[in-house]
Amino acid sequence: MLQSHSPWTGRPLVLVGLMGVGKSTVGRRLATRLKLPFVDADNAIEDAAGMTITEIFARFGEPYFRAGERRVIGRLMDGTPKVIATGGGAFIDPATRKLILDQATAIWLSAHPDVLVERVKRRDTRPLLRGKDARQVLSDLAAVRDPIYAQAHIHVSSQKGPHEVTVNAILKAIGR
């Protein structure tokens, strides 16, 4: 359930993992518990672009979005302690991943596909799931992305149930 390669050093804590794993919800709660600012990178991207992520994907495509995402995450990596929730694909981009690994403590949140499917059903705002079978898309993404997410400094498994359990597991992993 818990794998940790390095203790927290006060650098930004960056949550990575598949969509629906709880990065934003867990991130907000983690930031509150640590008395740190919380930033949702997707919200920061939308603010910078003046449009939603769905609109960015539709108008410009994924490569354009990933480049903008990298720039925004780069700006967020200002060396101050904070909790940052990233979009599911952010850590997959090699340059963004290097930035996160070099300048932050990366925490991979993983979850069983059943948990992810249940969570992503709640909102219709995920461009990669539009008109597709969520279980199949998430299984395919996990097969490709999990080995990359595994490069994160810390790995915590998010279970079905209260997000507070995941927050507590992260706090334990970072020595808090």
Q: Which residues are annotated as part of the binding site for Mg(2+)?
A: 24
Whether the Cβ atoms of residue 117 and residue 111 lie closer than 8 Å to each other: no
Token pair for 98? 């290097």
Residue positions in the annotated binding site? Answer: 20-25, 42, 66, 88, 126, 145
Q: Which residues are annotated as a binding site for ATP?
A: 20-25, 126
Strand-pairing partners, residue 3, are 155
Mark the binding-site residues for substrate, compressed into ranges.
42, 66, 88, 145
Cβ–Cβ under 8 Å, residues 45 and 72:
yes
